[in-house]
């Protein structure tokens, strides 16, 4: 079973990935953020480091996708399927040139052609998309406290987050690599509410059972042993 999560910056993907991986007994693959040497550079100078950042992420996501597809039980907090969304947005904002964008898409296309042959699992079993309002997104970005992500430190970030938020809606509509489901992160505050976390996990369990990825009597690791909220 391979599950991939998606959602804008600050949606709560890492938190939900951690909960689900323990509950389902799967290995978790996390987006390289904390140890990413390019990300702070990008936020300080997007025009100079936009292309480098996207190539860094593309390389890491391709590697994680291959590793995750090589086993039967894995979950990724962000996958290669949404990588181009960020590149195209930065191209639209003038942070990545036409030539750099063409190179990126050529490499991405080659990777996507190779991916089905790189491991025994050909595609994800389920995409779990976390949808949040811009207000919730900004609140969670403030809560996790990365200085280079704060709109108070860079006025242009608010416009970037707004554009990214809007583009994710169409991206989810167009996604067709696997079955998909959406979690409303405004209604279900699984990061701060134990009750909401229970409900979200049960929704995902039900979807996996319906698709035949879990037995009907599946219980998994009790959330009381996982949740800290």
pLDDT in tens, 9-19: 989 999 999 99
pLDDT at residue 8 greater than cutoff 70: yes
pLDDT at residue 40 greater than cutoff 90: no
Average pLDDT over residues 139-152: 84
Choose among 7, 60, 46, 52: nearest CA to 148: 46
| CATH number of the domain to which 45 belongs | 3.40.50.300
Average pLDDT over residues 41-68: 92
Distances (CA, A) of 1 to 12, 65, 122, 151: 21, 13, 11, 38
33 or 184, which is more confident: 184
Q: What is the pLDDT of residue 147?
A: 82
| pTM, two decimal places | 0.90
148-163: b (≥16 Cβ within 10 Å) or e: ebeeeeeeebeebbee
Query: For residue 49, what are the domain limits?
Result: 2-225
**Which residues, 6+ apart, have CB-to-CB distance to 33 below 8 Å?**
39
| Model confidence pLDDT, tens digit, residues 105-127 | 999 999 999 887 766 677 899 99
The number of folded domains in the chain is 1
pLDDT at residue 68 greater than cutoff 90: no
Is 77 one of the annotated active-site residues of the chain? yes
pLDDT at residue 229 greater than cutoff 60: no
Q: Which residues pair with 131 in a beta bridge?
A: 184
Catalytic residue among 77, 83, 189, 205: 77
CA dihedral 37, 75, 111, 131 (to 10 degrees): -80
Distances (CA, A) of 10 to 77, 96, 161, 211: 12, 23, 10, 29
Residue 190 sits at the vertex; the CA angle it makes with 188 and 194, to the nearest 5 degrees, is 110
Cβ(54)–Cβ(108) under 8 Å?
Answer: no
Q: Label residue 200 by pLDDT band (50, 70, 90).
A: very high
Mean pLDDT lowest among 23-27, 68-72, 113-117, 130-134: 68-72
């Amino acid at each position: 079973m391979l599950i991939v999560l998606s959602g804008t910056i600050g949606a709560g993907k890492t938190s939900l990935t951690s909960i689900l991986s323990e509950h389902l007994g799967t290995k978790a693959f996390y987006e390289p953020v904390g140890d990413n040497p390019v990300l702070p550079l990008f936020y300080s100078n997007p025009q100079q480091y936009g292309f480098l950042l996207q190539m860094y992420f593309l390389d890491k996501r391709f590697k994680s996708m291959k590793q995750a597809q090589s086993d039967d039980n894995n979950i990724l907090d962000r996958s290669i399927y949404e990588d181009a969304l960020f590149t195209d947005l930065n191209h639209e904002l003038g942070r990545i040139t036409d030539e750099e964008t063409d190179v990126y898409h050529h490499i991405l296309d080659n990777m996507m052609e190779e991916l089905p042959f790189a491991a025994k699992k050909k595609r994800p079993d389920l995409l779990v998309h976390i949808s949040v309002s811009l207000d919730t997104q900004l609140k969670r970005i403030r809560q996790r406290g990365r200085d280079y992500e704060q709109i108070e430190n860079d006025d242009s970030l608010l416009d970037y987050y707004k554009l990214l938020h809007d583009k994710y809606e169409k991206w989810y509509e167009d996604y067709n690599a696997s079955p998909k489901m959406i979690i409303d992160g405004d209604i279900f505050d699984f990061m701060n509410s134990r009750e909401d976390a229970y409900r979200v996990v049960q929704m995902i369990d039900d979807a996996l059972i319906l698709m035949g990825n879990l037995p009907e009597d599946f219980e998994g690791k009790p959330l009381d042993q996982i949740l800290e909220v």
